[in-house]
């Protein structure tokens, strides 16, 4: 039976061959443990070099770790699949924002609704809600919530008077919108 280091090497080599993202947890000197995600660029019997990716799938430099410092290696979990997909379609996810004629909360709600854009609304207690505008009235609006993996996550009815910030079509919202369209709208067209 292989040792844990041999098993890590096998999983990392397989990930490199298949160009799959991996999540690695490692102990760094003076640190209780860290988590990194990326693609295996090279691997030796003692080290692994990762092309790191941030939470948006964008390249985030290179990291070399000793195999002996690894605690856990994950592959094919929801987060690494998200990173793989975002990395693969990096050039088609992000676009410049066009916010003309939307200089108020009401204007941003209308823009998000008209253009089917995801927005994040924050209330005066710091609660954040992210999704598509489903409906808006005089003193409320309804969001079809979308989680960080682009999956539908229920609805929220929000009181407009409690909203202190609205973010429309920023990088995080664009990521969720892309994931939603890829996993739900595109699959509906294909079926």
CATH topology for 105-190 is SH3 type barrels. (2.30.30)
- SS3 labels along the chain: CCCHHHHHHHHHHHHHHHCCEEEEEECCCCCCCEEEEEEEEEECCCEEEEEEECCCCCEEEEEEEEHHHEEEEEECCHHHHHHHHHHHCHHHHCCCCCCCCCCCHHHHHHHHHHHCCEEEEEECCCCEEEEEEEEECCCEEEEEEECCCCCEEEEEEEEHHHEEEEEECCHHHHHHHHHHHHHHHHHHHHC
- The model's pLDDT over 28-73, given as tens digits with 9 standing for 90+, comes to 555 556 788 999 988 988 888 888 898 888 888 888 888 888 899 9
Query: How sure is the predictor about 135, in pLDDT bands with cuts at 50, 70 and 90?
Result: very high
The pLDDT confidence band at residue 180, using thresholds 50, 70 and 90, is very high
Q: Please give the share of the chain, as a percent, with pLDDT higher than 90.
A: 45
The predicted pLDDT at position 15 comes to 96
CATH 2.30.30.100 fits 4-93, yes or no: yes
Domain ranges within the chain, ordered by starting residue: 4-93, 105-190
Q: Do domains 4-93 and 105-190 have the same CATH topology?
A: yes
């Amino acid at each position: 039976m292989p040792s844990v280091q041999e098993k890590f090497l096998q999983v990392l080599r397989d990930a490199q061959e298949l160009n799959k993202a991996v999540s690695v947890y490692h102990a760094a000197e003076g640190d209780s443990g860290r988590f990194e995600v990326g693609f295996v660029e090279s691997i030796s019997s003692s080290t692994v070099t990762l092309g790191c990716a941030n939470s948006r799938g964008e390249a985030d430099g290179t990291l070399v770790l000793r195999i002996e410092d690894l605690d856990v290696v994950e592959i094919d979990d929801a987060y690494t699949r998200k990173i793989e997909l975002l990395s693969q379609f990096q050039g088609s996810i992000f676009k410049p924002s066009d916010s003309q004629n939307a200089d108020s909360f009401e204007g941003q709600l209308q823009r998000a609704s008209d253009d089917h854009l995801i927005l994040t609304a924050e209330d005066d207690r710091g609660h954040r809600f992210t999704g598509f505008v489903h409906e808006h009235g005089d003193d409320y609006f309804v969001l079809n919530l979308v989680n960080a993996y682009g999956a539908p996550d229920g609805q929220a009815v929000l009181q407009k008077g409690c909203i202190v910030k609205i973010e429309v079509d920023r990088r995080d919202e664009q990521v969720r919108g892309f994931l939603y369209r890829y996993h739900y709208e595109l699959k509906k067209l294909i079926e």
